[in-house]
């Protein structure tokens, strides 16, 4: 399964790499993108492992591992496992009454729930893409603004949460933001371009270190 995933990404990597060469992107640039993608993933992946650990007592090692390596994310899997159990008349994961049959219901539901999104992408993405390329129009400046706005929209959802909750999440958010600001200043003012690849990973680690320190002190 995991070999298959890695195979898919290698296939796409090669295809994109060759296409990139034709478009005149330099090798260095593309390898840099690869590195940046990899480095930026490290810390969120560790969070996935932590989520995995919380699921292991209930669902064992193999199922959460497979599920978190493909398609799902921790909240989805927990929800789906919960729905599976509920359909069997069991209200909690683990605990009394959570026998092997209920467990298998959880597993089935986890798998079936993700069929929708995956098959939609598999069958309809081509058409959706065509529609978009037609609509987006010819104004490259507006397109750049539009994309930045779309990214910001996704980010703001996750930024708003700590702001309204306050407390430790807010501390972490602010630490991450200030470390990133400092790093961005260094990159721009001192022209330290290499730092760009590491900026995200560094500020996340920094922010989490601050959080650990903060919660230890107070």
Partner 1 sequence: MIRLDDKALRETAYESKVHMIGRCTLIIGLLLTFLPPFILWLAYGIIPPLNNLISGIISISAVMIPVSVVEILTFSPMLGSSAMYMSYLTGNISNMKIPSAAISMEAVDVKPSTEEGDIISTIAIAGSVIASEIIIILGIILIAPITAKLNNPIIQPAFEQVLPALFGSIGAYYILKEWKLAVAPLVAAVSLSLVPGLPTAITIPVCVLASVLGAKFLYKRDLIKADE
6-65: which residues touch partner 1 (CB under 8 A)?
6-13, 15-17, 19-20, 22-23, 25, 29-30, 32-50, 52-53, 56, 61-63, 65
In angstroms, give the least distance from the CB of 3 to partner 1: 9
In angstroms, give the least distance from the CB of 124 to partner 1: 8
Figure out which of the listed residues 27, 97, 101, 137 binds partner 1, where binding follows CB under 8 A. Answer: 101
Size of the site for partner 1 (CB under 8 A): 146
186 near partner 1, rule: CB under 8 A:
no
Nearer to partner 1 by Cβ, of 53 and 95: the residue is 53
Using alpha carbons only, give the angle 16, 21, 27 rounded to the nearest 5 degrees: 95
Residue 180, judged by CB atoms within 10 A of its CB (0-12, 13-18, 19+), counts as middle
Asked whether the beta carbons of 81 and 106 are under 8 A apart, the reply is yes
Alpha-carbon distance values, 173 to 41, 93, 103, 201 (Å): 18, 32, 37, 14
134 near partner 1, rule: CB under 8 A:
no
94 near partner 1, rule: CB under 8 A:
no
DSSP annotation of 131 reads: H
In angstroms, give the least distance from the CB of 14 to partner 1: 9
Figure out which of the listed residues 55, 58, 72, 98 binds partner 1, where binding follows CB under 8 A. Answer: 72
Nearer to partner 1 by Cβ, of 95 and 154: the residue is 154
DSSP annotation of 95 reads: S
138 near partner 1, rule: CB under 8 A:
no
Helix, strand, coil percent values for the chain (each to nearest 5): 85, 0, 15
Tokens read off for 143: 């397109």
Binding mask 141-160 for partner 1 (x = CB under 8 A): xxxxxxxxxxxxxxxxxxxx
140 near partner 1, rule: CB under 8 A:
yes
Cα–chain center distance at 154: 12
Q: Give the C-alpha separation, 196 to 149, whole Å.
A: 21
Nearer to partner 1 by Cβ, of 95 and 129: the residue is 129
């Amino acid at each position: 399964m995991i070999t298959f995933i890695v195979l898919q990404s290698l296939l796409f990597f090669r295809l994109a790499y060759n296409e990139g060469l034709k478009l005149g992107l330099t090798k260095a640039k593309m390898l840099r993108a690869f590195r940046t993608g990899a480095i930026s993933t490290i810390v969120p992946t560790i969070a996935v492992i932590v989520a995995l650990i919380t699921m292991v007592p209930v669902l064992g090692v193999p199922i959460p591992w497979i599920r978190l390596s493909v398609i799902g994310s921790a909240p989805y899997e927990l929800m789906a496992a919960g729905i599976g159990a509920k359909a069997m008349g069991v209200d909690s994961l683990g605990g009394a009454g959570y026998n092997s049959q209920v467990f298998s219901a959880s597993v089935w539901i986890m798998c079936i729930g993700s069929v929708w999104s995956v098959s939609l992408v598999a069958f309809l993405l081509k058409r959706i893409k065509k529609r978009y390329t037609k609509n987006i129009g010819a104004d490259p400046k507006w397109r750049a603004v539009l994309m930045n706005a779309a990214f910001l929209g996704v980010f703001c959802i996750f930024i708003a949460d700590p702001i309204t909750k306050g407390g430790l999440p807010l501390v972490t958010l602010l630490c991450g933001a200030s470390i990133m600001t400092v790093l961005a200043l260094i990159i721009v003012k001192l022209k330290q371009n290499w730092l760009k690849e590491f900026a995200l990973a560094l500020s996340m680690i920094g922010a989490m270190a601050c959080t650990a320190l903060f919660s230890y002190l107070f």
